[in-house]
């Protein structure tokens, strides 16, 4: 019940937060509408609407030719899998419309009133992802320190509060709140599916006696495969989980691979049927390269004041505590394998993100492009500070350092959801796509923009009358 309450709370809390950005995800509701009523991905029924036809998802100047389905209809460039998660929203809203509660979805799309369609899909999806990570935290904690014996026998006891607490931390102190919950970004499905893959892997590795292990492995494999079709960078994370199974639960690996292969075959069949090609342009590897800004991009996505993962969610650094010699020696073999493989996958994902020419993620808030990394980092961080802490130094970290880092993370992501800090900072005084060097501007840092918009002294219109310019005097110098 506590876990269900956490999901309900997060869903409601996400839904009432006012910031709903429009970007890559803008065409998700009309695509879901086409899936429900046209049984295809084409957006030809909305072609005469300027706000649809002019969106960059249908006009990819400098990125590639506009995408069309096999019948020549315009199709959203970004992954169609996200629209599948929006289908229940289309069905539910139109059912409500039939009894006079609201406008139908076609009217909402035609009138460009899609923000709440975005929220209705993103809020429960992101909340479910957070709950899955809360479960992963409990599973990981269960065999974090088992002395090399069976985790199910000698690990930490199952505590009723760990899953709801981990759900709230994952849901409020990471980009799940400031990115995945705000609208139907493809990060939401990617985090949820990768989290399901992680949970399934932890169960079959940590509990050899659990019933239906092979089926659990198959479900995990299917989730890992689907995660790729939401965000290709999750491929390295799935590879880490498969390696963990190879070393720690090889008897389940074949069923996991089978689940992934069957799922991939189904997706490829849908691609061929609806798009006329197996691999859509979004998933082709030519979009990444070792460009001239690669080193800067890697550093910026870690520690810059506008995109730094460890600046916006510093509690995730606690995941690295498992590498300390004392903790490493105390950890079970399963925990050491999990730590090394998952942290290695996160590093590989960060390298892949840095290799993307548009590495700063456009007009968005915080480390959007590293959102999926929280699937591995959050359970590791929580497992490092929850449970038995025999040494005083560890208790200090658990009860002194961790709460401060979590509180900062919650505040920063909350301000990104309740103020337009992201939209304002990335467009004013210069658009971030035109001046990406602003990522490193410590005189006007995005991470503090929300605070500067709500804390006194404040002028809601700014000194020049622009609502995006409240008290933006340099923090250093003049």
Condensed to tens digits (0 to 9), the pLDDT of residues 247-291 reads: 999 999 999 999 999 999 999 999 999 999 999 988 886 677 778
Is there a single domain that holds both residue 162 and residue 299? yes
Per-residue pLDDT of the chain (478 residues; tens, 9 = 90+): 889 999 999 999 999 999 888 888 999 999 999 999 999 999 999 989 999 988 988 876 445 556 888 888 999 999 999 999 999 999 999 999 999 999 999 999 999 999 999 999 999 999 999 999 999 999 998 776 554 444 444 556 677 899 999 999 999 999 999 999 999 999 999 999 999 999 999 999 988 888 889 999 999 999 999 999 999 999 999 999 999 999 999 999 999 999 999 999 999 999 999 999 999 988 886 677 778 889 999 999 999 999 999 999 999 999 999 999 988 888 888 999 999 999 999 999 999 999 988 898 888 999 999 999 999 999 999 999 987 676 888 889 989 999 999 999 999 999 999 998 998 898 888 889 888 899 999 988 999 999 988 876 655 555 455 666 554 444 444 3
Is position 16 within any domain? no
Is there a single domain that holds both residue 136 and residue 269? yes
pLDDT at 428: 82
Is there a single domain that holds both residue 91 and residue 176? no
Choosing from 418, 437, 462, the residue where a domain stops is 418
Q: Which DSSP string corresponds to 162-219?
A: HHHHHHHHHHHSSHIIIIITTS--THHHHHHHHHHHHHHHHHHHH-TT-TTHHHHHHH
Is there a single domain that holds both residue 106 and residue 128? no
Are 163 and 131 a contacting pair, CB within 8 Å? yes
Is position 427 within any domain? no
Helices (H) and strands (E) in the chain, counts: 22, 0
Cα 391 vs. chain centroid, distance in angstroms?
Answer: 34
Is position 355 within any domain? yes
Choosing from 113, 130, 159, the residue where a domain stops is 113
Is there a single domain that holds both residue 397 and residue 322? yes
Q: What is the pTM of this model?
A: 0.93
Q: By CB neighbour count within 10 A (0-12 exposed, 13-18 middle, 19+ buried), where does 209 fall?
A: exposed
Alpha helices in 431-474 (DSSP H): 446-454
Is position 477 within any domain? no
Phi, psi torsion values for 355, nearest 5 degrees: -80, -5
Is position 18 within any domain? no
Are 259 and 218 a contacting pair, CB within 8 Å? yes
Is there a single domain that holds both residue 100 and residue 138? no
Is there a single domain that holds both residue 212 and residue 342? yes
Is there a single domain that holds both residue 154 and residue 270? yes
Is there a single domain that holds both residue 128 and residue 71? no
Any idea how long the chain is? Answer: 478
Q: Rounded CA gap, 132 and 10, in Å?
A: 13
Is position 286 within any domain? yes
Cβ atoms < 10 Å from Cβ of 397: 17
Is position 237 within any domain? yes
For 115, what's the count of Cα atoms within 13 Å in the CB-facing half-sphere?
A: 10
Is there a single domain that holds both residue 170 and residue 207? yes
Q: Which domain holds residue 181?
A: 117-418
Nearest residue to 402 via CA among 415, 417, 389: 389
Choosing from 87, 113, 139, the residue where a domain stops is 113
Is there a single domain that holds both residue 108 and residue 124? no
Is position 435 within any domain? no
Is there a single domain that holds both residue 124 and residue 75? no
Condensed to tens digits (0 to 9), the pLDDT of residues 47-93 reads: 899 999 889 888 764 455 568 888 889 999 999 999 999 999 999 99
* Number of structural domains in the chain: 2
């Amino acid at each position: 019940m506590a876990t269900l309450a956490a999901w309900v709370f997060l869903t409601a809390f996400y839904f009432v937060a006012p910031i709903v950005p429009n970007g890559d995800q803008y065409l998700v509701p009309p695509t879901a509408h086409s899936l429900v009523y046209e049984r295809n991905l084409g957006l030809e029924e909305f072609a005469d609407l300027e706000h649809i036809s002019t969106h960059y998802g249908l006009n990819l100047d400098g990125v590639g030719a506009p995408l069309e389905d096999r019948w020549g209809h315009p199709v959203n460039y970004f992954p169609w899998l996200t629209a599948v998660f929006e289908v229940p929203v289309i069905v539910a809203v139109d059912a409500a419309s039939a009894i006079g509660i609201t406008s139908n979805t076609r009217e909402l799309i035609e009138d460009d009133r899609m923000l709440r369609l975005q929220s209705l899909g993103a809020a429960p999806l992101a909340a479910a992802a957070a709950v899955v990570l809360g479960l992963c935290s409990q599973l990981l904690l269960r065999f974090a320190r088992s002395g090399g014996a069976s985790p199910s026998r000698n690990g930490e006891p199952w505590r009723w509060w760990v899953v709801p607490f981990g759900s709230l931390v994952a849901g409020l102190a990471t980009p799940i709140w400031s990115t995945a919950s705000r609208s139907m970004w493809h990060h939401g499905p990617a985090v949820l599916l990768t989290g399901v893959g992680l949970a399934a892997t932890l169960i079959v590795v940590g509990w050899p006696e659990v019933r239906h292990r092979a089926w659990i492995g198959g479900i995990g494999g299917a989730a890992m495969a689907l995660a790729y079709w939401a965000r290709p960078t999750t491929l390295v994370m799935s590879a880490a989980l498969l390696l963990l199974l190879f070393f720690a639960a090889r008897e389940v690996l074949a069923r996991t691979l089978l689940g992934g292969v069957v799922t991939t075959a189904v997706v490829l069949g849908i691609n061929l049927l609806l798009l006329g090609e197996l691999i859509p342009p979004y998933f082709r590897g030519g979009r990444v390269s070792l460009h001239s800004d690669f080193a800067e991009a890697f550093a910026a996505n870690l520690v810059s004041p506008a995109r730094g993962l460890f600046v916006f969610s510093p509690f995730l650094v606690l995941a690295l505590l498992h590498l300390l010699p004392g903790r490493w020696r105390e950890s079970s073999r399963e925990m050491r394998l999990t730590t090394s493989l998952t942290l290695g996958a996160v590093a590989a994902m960060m390298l892949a993100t840095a290799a993307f020419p548009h590495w700063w993620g456009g007009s968005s808030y915080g480390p959007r492009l590293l959102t999926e990394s929280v699937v591995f980092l959050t359970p590791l961080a929580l497992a490092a500070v929850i449970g038995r802490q025999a040494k005083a130094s560890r208790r200090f970290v658990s009860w002194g350092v961790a709460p401060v880092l979590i509180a900062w993370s919650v505040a920063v992501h909350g301000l990104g959801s309740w103020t337009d800090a992201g939209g304002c900072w990335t467009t004013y005084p210069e658009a971030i796509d035109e001046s990406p060097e602003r990522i490193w501007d410590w005189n006007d840092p995005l991470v503090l923009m929300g605070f500067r918009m709500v804390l006194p002294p404040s002028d809601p219109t700014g000194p020049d009358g622009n609502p995006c310019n409240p008290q933006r005097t340099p923090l250093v110098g003049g």
